[in-house]
Chain A
Amino acid sequence: EAGVAQSPRYKIIEKRQSVAFWCNPISGHATLYWYQQILGQGPKLLIQFQNNGVVDDSQLPKDRFSAERLKGVDSTLKIQPAKLEDSAVYLCASSRLTGKNTEAFFGQGTRLTVV
Chain B
Amino acid sequence: AQKVTQAQTEISVVEKEDVTLDCVYETRDTTYYLFWYKQPPSGELVFLIRRNSFDEQNEISGRYSWNFQKSTSSFNFTITASQVVDSAVYFCALRNSGYALNFGKGTSLLVTP
In the complex, how many residues of chain B place their beta carbon closer than 8 angstroms to a beta carbon of chain A? 25
* Chain A residues closer than 8 Å to B43, beta-carbon distance: 89, 108-109, 111
Let me know if A105 and B47 touch, CB within 8 A. yes
Contact with A along B27-66 (1 / 0, CB 8 A): 0000001010100001111110010100000000000000
Interface centre among A41, A42, A44, A109 (most CB of B within 10 A): A42
Q: Are B44 and A56 in contact (CB under 8 A)?
A: no
Whether B33 and A3, one on each chain, are in contact in the complex, defined by CB atoms closer than 8 angstroms, is no
* Chain B residues positioned under 8 Å from A45 (CB to CB): 99-101
Binary per-residue interface labels of chain B (78-113) against chain A in the complex, 1 for a CB within 8 Å, 0 otherwise: 000000000000010101101111111110000000
Tell me whether chain A's interface is mostly helix, strand or loop, or mixed: loop
Contacts of A109 in B (CB 8 A): 43-44
The answer to whether A100 and B95 touch across the interface, beta carbons within 8 angstroms, is yes
- Contact A48 B45, CB 8 Å, known A40-B105, A41-B105, A101-B50: no
Q: Which residues of B contact A105 (CB under 8 A)?
A: 47
Q: Which residues of A lie under 8 Å from residue B4 when comparing CB positions? A: 42
Q: Is the CB of B33 within 8 A of A56?
A: no
Give the CA-CA distance A104 to B35 in the complex, in Å. 10
- Interface flags for A39-71 (1: CB within 8 Å of B; 0: not) read 011111100100000011001000000000000
The answer on a CB contact under 8 Å between B33 and A100 is yes
A residues sitting closer than 8 Å to B (CB atoms) are 3-4, 40-45, 48, 55-56, 59, 89, 91, 93, 98, 100-101, 103-109, 111
B-to-A contact residues, CB < 8 Å: 4, 33, 35, 37, 42-47, 50, 52, 91, 93, 95-96, 98-106
